[in-house]
Every structure is written in C-alpha cells, then in structure tokens.
Structure 1
Amino acid sequence: MTRENLYESYAINFATLDVCPKPEHKHTFFELVYIRSGNGRQCINNSHFNYKPGHLFLLSPDDCHSFDIESTTDFFFLQFNDIYLKTGGLGTDNIRRLEYILQNANHRPGCILRNIVDKSLVNPMIEAIFREYSNRDVYNQELIHQLVNTLIIVVARNIAKSLPDQVTVNTDEKTVDILQYIQQHIYYPEKLKTENIGHIFGVSNAYLGRYFKKHTHETMQGYITKYKIKLIEHRLKFSDKRINEIAEEFGFTDISHLNKFFKKQKGKNLSAYRESVRLK
C-alpha cells in the first residue's frame, strides 16, 4: 500500500474526477476533502459512507482511504501537517489540544460537520479559497492562509462537539498524551495495561487510575471500553468485515470473547446489532 508524504506545510488542490486516481492509500499528514458536487462512496479503514455535495471529510495520518466515484465529482483537497499547525498562526496555547482533536477523528467514516450553522459557513469559505487560488490576485496568499486557518478551526469545533468531555482548554497535557496513546494503541490490549501506561508516562500504577479520573471524570478502563465499543460499532455499521476479523483486529481471543464483551455494553450480540443498524 502506498504512503504519501507532504513536502510543504500545506497544499491545496481542486479536481474534477470520474475515477479515483489512487487505490487505497495512506498519508503522513492530515487531509480535508470537501465534495463540491457529485456522488459516490468514501472508504476509510474498511468502512464505507455515501457522499454527496456539502460533505466534508477529515483523513488523519495513517487512515487507509479511497473514493469510489459514481458520478463526476468536484473535490476540494486541503493537505496540512504538524508543521502547519505549529507555524500557521493558530495560537501556541492550544496547538496540542488541536492536534489531539484532529487525531480523534481517526477511524470514523462520514461527514464531520455536526454543527448545522457551520455547514452553511464551509461552502462559501471553500468557494472563496477557489476564487483566490484561481485568480492569483494581490494578497491572495495571505487571504488563502487566513481562510485555511478558519476552516481548520471550524473542523476542530465540529469534531470537539462529538467528543466526550475529556478535552477542554484546561485539560492537563499529560492527560491529553494518555488519551492519544490509548487511541493509537486501542487494537493492542497488552499496551493498554495499567502498568504499561504508567511506565510510559511516569505515573505509578497505584496513582494512575486516580490521576486519569481526576482529569477526565471517568475511569481509564471505562474510557478504553467506550472507545473500543464505538470503533466496533462503526465496523459493524459501515464495513463488511466478518465478526472473526473484527475480533482479531481488536485483540480478542475469539468471537465468543468479543460477543460477551459487546453484549455486556450494548445488550445485543454482534450479529443482532449489525442487522438492526443496517435496517435503519
């Protein structure tokens, strides 16, 4: 599988496509994709979502993705990396939290615009970028830069609205690091053991649980369980993965082990849940 790099802090591209030019691939950077017109399907981490005009997607580093184009589609692509977040004038105080919020969209298919007001804001913003990008008028780079900053902040706001309450402007930096570590290693149960996390972040095993709850208002095991369940729900709803493949992906010993875990949280076994969500 190809893995693309970005050799500048950010890059913009507008494209009209009938066929996706790339098979499934990964990036080392963030990418915003806005659908200006057209229809098709987005594939991200083996999950699928039908796209239409007005949908905005955020692809995080290491997301495996592609587009299956059904009708000619006008795309807007904005690629940016950590360098841009740190040097783009976004404000140093909240850069780490912004990075965490953007990373937290990982593995989630579908349009990231949750705020109805922002849906009407994003389209004219992207069309303004298109005009400046096409006309190359005086101060166009400065205007594009400001519009890109605003777009990224709007995206972060929409992702934050779908997060639990762990991240606020006052969240302790180490807590943000622990939350991000959990998300990055959610597929590896051994790496999520208390003694391993405590060793990595320099917190004693005895204190780690109290420390985590103090800053997030929930237990660490509770957070791990909720996050894992959320990802499994997405697999069942948006992917064609078999149950045994999902069990293997998340480090369960077998289907029975996964079923027991899932039913305890959701009250249904995996097959019944998948059937119920696909009937909606």
Structure 2
Amino acid sequence: MAKENIPVYDICSISREPGANDDFLADRLSSYLHKYYDHLHFPHRHSFYHLLLFTRGKGTHSIDFTTFDVKPYQIYFMIPGQVHSWHFDNNMAGFIINFSENFFKSFLQNPHYMDRFPFFSGISEEGVYQLPVDLHKQTAQLLESILTYSGHDWKSHTDMVRVLLLQLFLLIDHSLAANSNKAIPQQKLILLRGFRRLIDTHYRSIRLPKEYADLLYVTPNHLNALCQDLLGKTAGELIRERVLLEAKRLLTNARMTVTEIAYDLNFQDNSYFNRFFKKYSGMTPDEFRKQFHTENK
C-alpha cells in the first residue's frame, strides 16, 4: 500500500524540544500557535488525544471534514487518528492539552476508560462543546493548574496532572448529562460504546449489523432499536458512516489511487466503491479529492 500523504504527528514530533515528554504536552494556545502554526494549520492527524479550549479569538476548526466556527469558551476533544486543521486570526487565546493513549493506562488499569466520555467518541460533532457560563472560570482554573504542575518537576507531579485532567473530563461529562434532554441508562451507553468500538476495529471486514449484534450477544433488532433511540440512526448507518469517513481520510492521500483505496476498504471492485461513495457523500471519490486539495492548498 502507498504511504499516507497526510502527516501524522506524535507529541515529540510536534514539540521538537530536547527532553520533551512523549506522553503529555500542555501549553497556552497563543504560545502553541506561535511555535507550530506554520505546519499544523494544514490537515494532519495525531497519534494522541487532543484537547483545545478557546477563550478568545475567531476562525474555523475542521475535524474529519466537518468545519466549526470558533467561539470563546468552546472546547474541542479529539481522539488519535482524526484528521483536522485550523485557520485562526492573530488574536487567539486558550489552552491546549495533548496526551498519549498510554498516559492513563498504568494509572487507571482500564484501557477503555476514555470510552466512557461521549466527547471522546471520535464523532466530530460530539467532540465539540460550548461551555455554559457557570463553567468558564472553573474550567480555566483547572487548565491553569495543569499548566503549573506540568511545567515544574514533571516526574513528581505527573499523578496530579492526571487527577486534574480527569476532574476536567468528569466536570464536562456531568455538564453534558445535566443539559441533555433525557437521562440515558448506563447499560445502553455501555452497549453503544461497545458497538462503536467494534466498528472501529472491524469496519473493513464486517459490514452487517447482524454480525456486530452476534459479537455483542444481542439481537439485530435490539441493536438497531438502541441506535435509533440514542442517535436517531440505524446500526447500518453507523457502519456506513465509519466506512465513508475512512474513505475520505484515505482520499486525502494523493499517493493512493481510488482503486487502491477501494481494495484497502475491502470493496469488491472500484465501481462498487464509487457508487457507495457518491450515494452517501453526494460526489465521486475523485470529485471529493479535488475539492479537498483545492480547499487546502
């Protein structure tokens, strides 16, 4: 397979500073942009989790081909692998946090702990949250504390940074739940998260809701009703959306042909892939690719 054209950054490759921590980075947004904006405003991926809070400024932020207008006290959460880019003015302020998949594993002894938070679902719209006014000060204070502890004697304060970051996640999670129109039983959330995790693992080889239902030990009707109830979509739609998203990500790679992408995604032939892509995106793969590269020159 051809190498991916869109850059993938880890924490060390972004910081490029001697002795940089490969599991965690915290910075003020203005400082971060001053150091790295020249290459990070182009579409790229991360190998780490990414948190971005704006407290001042204007511009746009695109995550997996969905563009959001930046607003003060808007917070963004991204998981490894998502494609994003930003275009900001010169008066930005806020905070940025990067942490690896390993950052919490030894601390929590739970490899799927991040899955409990809806904003780390990997769905662009679910990872963007406008903070209510009563959370502005508390959120900023938590991030200020993280900056303080991460900036001095890192080894002695690593656990404090983890606790503060978890406190932030739990605070946002509670706010989301409190502002939701309905309370969702934990059992349903666990099942939905399990389904999404399976899709992320198997979307290339498993396309039928029945096969996922078997893996989850539920009936296809139960799985479909769960998705309709919580998301207003069918189980089949979630699977197709994940395949379409990966197709779009791969199409950003100018070195891969459409035929290679169709093969990578396990389509029977190129024409079937073209029909699938046009049906669910409204344009052909070649049209999408041309539009993407025109917009990101």
TM-score by length of 1: 0.61
**Structure 2 CA distance for partners of 1:87 and 1:135, relative to 1, 3 Å:** closer
Does 2:208 match 1:208? no
2:166 corresponds to which residue? 149
Corresponding position of 1:77: 96
Take 1:26 and 1:253, find their aligned partners in 2: how far apart are those partners? Answer: 25
After TM superposition, the structure 1 = structure 2 runs for residues 119-268 of structure 1, keeping only pairs within 5 Å, are: 119-134=136-151, 140-158=157-175, 168-171=185-188, 175-182=192-199, 184=200, 191-198=206-213, 201=215, 203=217, 207-210=219-222, 213=225, 218=229, 222-224=233-235, 251=276, 254=279
Cα distance in structure 1, aligned partners of 2:217 and 2:126: 34
Judged with a 3 Å threshold, the aligned counterparts in structure 2 of structure 1 residues 144 and 253 are, in CA distance, closer, same or farther, namely: closer
Per-residue CA deviation, residues 133-183 of structure 1 (Å, 9 max, x unaligned), is 44659965454332122122234445556889796443485553214345x
| Aligned match for 1:11, one of 4, 25, 32 | 25
Preserved CA contact (<8 Å) 2:105 2:111: no
Distance 1:219 1:138 in 2: 42
Q: 1:148 to 1:56 in 2, by over 3 A?
A: same
Q: Give the structure 2 partner of residue 44 of structure 1.
A: 63
SS at match of 1:79: strand
Task: State the distance in 1 between where 2:61 and 2:123 align.
Answer: 14
CA distance change for structure 1 residues 156 and 82 in 2, over 3 Å: closer, same or farther?
farther
Q: Offset at 1:2?
A: 0.6
User: Offset of 1:42 from its aligned partner?
Assistant: 1.0
Counterparts of 1:249 and 1:165 in 2: how far apart (Å)? 39
Tell me the amino acid that sits aligned with residue 128 of structure 1: S
Distance of aligned partners of 1:87 and 1:159 in 2 relative to their CA distance in 1, 3 Å threshold: farther
Normalized against structure 2, the TM-score is what? Answer: 0.58
Question: What SS is found at the alignment partner of 2:169?
Answer: helix
Q: Is the 8 A contact 2:224 2:235 kept in 1?
A: no
Deviation at residue 52 of structure 1 after TM alignment: 3.7
Q: Which of 46, 58, 67 is equivalent to 2:86? A: 67
Instruction: Give the whole-Å Cα distance in 1 for the aligned partners of 2:112 and 2:276.
Output: 34
**Structure 1 counterpart SS, 2:90:** strand
Unmatched tracts of structure 2, length 5 or more: 1-5, 13-21, 243-272, 283-297
| Residues in 1 aligned to 2:237 and 2:163: alpha-carbon distance in whole angstroms | 37
TM-superposed deviation, 1:62: 1.8
TM-superposed CA distance for 1:92, in Å, is: 4.6
Determine the C-alpha separation between the residues in 2 that align with 1:219 and 1:110.
16
Measured at CA, do residues 165 and 109 of structure 1 come closer, stay the same or move farther in structure 2, by a change above 3 Å?
closer
Separation (CA, whole Å) in 1 of partners of 2:275 and 2:130: 28
* CA shift in 2, pair 1:114/1:164, >3 Å: same
State, as a whole percentage, how many aligned pairs show the same letter: 11
Mapping 1:103-114, distance limit 5 Å = 103-108=120-125, 111-114=128-131
Question: How many residues in Structure 1 have an aligned counterpart in Structure 2?
Answer: 234
Q: Is the 8 A contact 1:40 1:51 kept in 2?
A: yes
Root-mean-square deviation over aligned CA pairs: 4.7
